[in-house]
Chain A
Amino acid sequence: MDINITEINELETASTGRRGVGVHAENINKQFGVRHVLRDLDLSIRPGEFVAIVGHSGCGKSTLLRLLAGLDQASSGHLDLDGKPLQGINPDVRIMFQDSRLLPWRTVIENVGLGLEGDWRSAAQNALKQVGLADRAHEWPAALSGGQRQRVALARALVHEPRLLLLDEPLGALDALTRIEMQRLIERLWLDKGFTALLVTHDVPEAIALADRVVLIEHGAITLDQKINLPRRRERGTAEFAKLEGLVLSRVMGIEEVVSKNQFKGKISAILSDDPVLSSVLVETEHGTVTATISTRSIAEYGFEVGSEVLALVKANKVEMAIPR
């Protein structure tokens, strides 16, 4: 059944008997009331593959993940795991959320052992060891840092030996150094265990560093499916990396689809980064100054600085920015 696993994933996955599951989504539609979040979406993931989904917030990427986790039902379409229709919550599928969702009234090890039966303690201890937190087993989650909490959440997902691991922006709230550490940890565990991984992220370099394929979802449909053929572990500084990053970023930030009447050319006049998460960017346009609120991380990612030429896009009640061509 798993004949071509070795071709896909050259690394030994002998440490566990359970390998990744193949995912096949066909014509998936999801509506919330009048809002059409996913439109005729098709996606196939080979067993053991690492796929990253990028896209603007509200594009439907998290919704797709929730469908695969069995937390929501598709309005129409087929969703198969290894050819079997996915129905409700599946023990082979585990999800890691953006917030760690640890039970504050359980110690770290009890959180990892949640939902396990039998000799859960040694399994949980072992999973904690894999994420490097064996010595924190008996502390309360409140005593841990954000990154450590996410590592506990990762251990909690891995202890169930999932065949499909869904990662819903699990590193979104972490600082840059912790993120890179976590990315390496996730990559190492994925190589070691051979599960199929689906990562939702808004961080394009993160997607390229980790994934075999980067998929862009726009307005509920896949508009880019980019293979990443870089050798692992990937170095961010290389020309190939930068080229792929530029390719994906220009699609993500693509201005082709923006309605032209809602955009102004302008120059960045000031960047106010008082907040570690969100920054205000003042853009001087011929109609006056507009303020765009974007994540502080994006400023560096897209190379915004005072004096940069940008397009200010008015969307609903907020201002977004794009790089003009």
Chain B
Amino acid sequence: MATKTWRFDAERVLPWLLPITILVSWQTLAQIGWITSRTMPAPLDVVKAGIAVASSGELWQHLLVSTRRALTGLAIGGSIGFVLGLITGLSRLGESLLDSTIQMIRNIPLLAIIPLVILWFGIDEGGKIFLVSLSVFFPLYINTYHGLRSVDKGLIEMGGVYGLSRWGLFRQVILPGALPSILVGLRLSLGYMWLFLVVAETIASSEGIGYMTMNAREFLQTDVVVLGITIYALLGIVSDQLATQLERRWLKWHAGYRVA
């Protein structure tokens, strides 16, 4: 029994071993001066910088602005991607009309069009939201389209025999069948959303986490720079968790998503 408890604890402790070791050695190396604070601030300095910007209220302002940009972009790009995915996924006509064009545009590296975006939108909010929208558009579009196309034809046929209307077939058979794929698209979109927000905010902005980070770089405040990076990482984790929660809630019928 005793060994069993120990094993159980080990399973929980082991994953934390390496990160904690790294943090502790990083802190130690920084304190004895092997790593200069110009290269990399000590972890505790990052925490202190975090407390400072949080208590001045500066952090929350930047966080709010960044989150608003990200969510606006997600709402615009995501809903366009979803709707276009529905059109091409449900109708052969829509597919032949739209899909090849969208696939062509998808092959353009989005970061390459930044100069154009700056020309079109200047360095205002518009450009940032445009970039984020564009980045979340493709994963949602492709996964919605493929999800709809790969719904089991046998189930659709069955739904028809059992008297479902077109709307009933869509709502009860096709959409739930495509949902796992759509949620994968959403999860990918959330990743791209933060990635492109970082890029957009780093190019030019007067507020937001990216601005805070770039501004700190000017003054060689590496602790704030690392803080900014950490916040982006945390935002990524939070949105990934949200996607996981949605999957558990909507895909609870699916063995792969059921909580053990």
Q: Which A residues are closer than 8 A to B by beta carbons?
A: 69-71, 89, 91, 94-95, 97, 99, 101, 103-106, 114-115, 140, 142, 156, 160
Contact = CB atoms under 8 A, between A and B. Distances in A.
Given A101-B152, A114-B159, A115-B163, 20 more contacts: A71-B161, A89-B161, A89-B163, A91-B163, A94-B162, A97-B158, A99-B154, A101-B157, A103-B155, A103-B172, A105-B179, A105-B254, A106-B172, A106-B253, A114-B164, A115-B159, A115-B162, A115-B164, A142-B255, A160-B163
A72 B114 CA distance: 53
A140 B253 contact: yes
Contacts of B160: 71, 89
Residue among A95, A104, A140, A160 with the highest chain B CB neighbour number at 10 A: A104
Interface of B: 152, 154-155, 157-164, 168, 172-173, 176-177, 179, 251, 253-255
Interface residues of A: mostly helix, strand, loop or mixed?
Answer: loop
Contacts of A101: 152, 154-155, 157-158
A203 B164 CA distance: 32
Contacts of A140: 253
A242 B134 CA distance: 71
B46 to A, nearest CB: 45
B162 A156 contact: yes
A114 B172 contact: yes
Nearest to A117: B163
A95 B176 CA distance: 23
Nearest to B165: A115
Contact of B253 (A69, A70, A142): A142
A167 to B, nearest CB: 13
B16 to A, nearest CB: 35
A86 to B, nearest CB: 13
A71 B162 CA distance: 12
A316 to B, nearest CB: 26
Given A91-B163, A115-B163, A97 B154 contact: yes
A41 to B, nearest CB: 22
Contacts of A89: 160-161, 163
Contacts of B159: 114-115
Contacts of A106: 172, 253
A18 to B, nearest CB: 16
B158 A104 contact: no
A115 B255 contact: no
A104 B254 CA distance: 7
